[in-house]
Amino acid sequence: MRIEAVDLFCGVGGLTAGLIKSGINVKAGYDIAEECLFAYEFNNKASFINKDVAQVTADEILSWYSADSIKLLAGCAPCQPFSTYNQGKDTTKDKKWPLLYHFSRLIKDVNPELITMENVPEVIRHKVYDDFINHLEEQGYVITAQEIACVDYGVPQTRRRHVLLASKIGKISLIQATHSEPVTVRDVISKLEPLSAGQGSLNDLLHTSSNLSPINLQRIKCSKPGGTWRDWPIELRAECHKKDSGKSYPSVYGRMEWDKPAPTMTTLCYGFGNGRFGHPQQDRAISLREAALFQTFPENYQFVEPQKKISFKGVGRMIGNAVPVRLGEIIGLSFIQALDNFG
């Protein structure tokens, strides 16, 4: 029983790469971010269509599937409207907000046998999610959905996600946790070439660390793995941290710990001041390659064309927005094992 997939909101290809690794044939990915085209196609050998999902038709999606395949439609819509950061804000005018409705439209018109959707856990608090579930049930899908700790499946970071699987073939659940012990920072990056702040490797251009200002270099030298800016001398503390309103943000300007998972990778994961993104030992923020490894991209995954200048902001956005490859693999294995059991 051959599964073929189309990946909506595919980005740089984290979910696609994971599905391919599990044995699923991903035919195409759709995304509005044109800068993801090279990485998606080069690494995954699948077609990238630079198009707003709102403009995509069912006939277009159906054209990718073989006549005898089991159709999987994946739609991991951007999570920003649903994230904790935006709780309490009016996000209804965010252009990303209706994307789940467009996903629902395509599901109804394409009628795939299998569906997956991954997002932040907070997505379930919103009416758009309730509507999405109702639409699936009305169309006869059997749904399983749960919040997971990605570390339980071998992703070396504390990321938690909401994962939905839906099927018209029978009930399909995410496979049981694969890791009783977490994959740690040490496991992932300890053997990489040492760097100084602002330095890059000649062997891997993505293994490059952002520069640090003189005061931030002093700050990271005073930072302890797992500690906070409260470990610094008073004269190094930022003005905002001296105010009551800033005292509740201890995780910024933090170092990772060797024997624990990394924090959740974000689009700003290359910056020392943006979270606990300091290297456990070296006086710098993690490199872009290290961030990609924490997202379980293969070490040879290419994000920009050869000879093209690497943008920390651009590549950081690609990495932070991606579905961890390992999570994509787990989702794919869940579908494949269930279908094998159905016989």
Ordered strands of the 25-31 beta sheet: 47-50, 25-31, 3-8, 70-75, 114-119, 160-167, 142-149
Exactly one of 10, 36, 76, 79 is catalytic; name it. Answer: 79
The tokens describing 235, both together, are 């004269």
Distance CA 238, CA 218 (A): 12
The SS3 assignment for 8 reads strand
Distance CA 234, CA 242 (A): 9
Helix or strand (DSSP H, E) at 101: helix 99-110
* 8 Å CB contact between 75 and 11: no
Distance CA 113, CA 238 (A): 54
* 8 Å CB contact between 6 and 30: yes
Does the annotation count 10 as an active-site position?
no
Within 10 A of 254 (CB to CB), how many other CB atoms are there? Answer: 23
Distance CA 197, CA 217 (A): 8
Which residues are catalytically annotated?
79
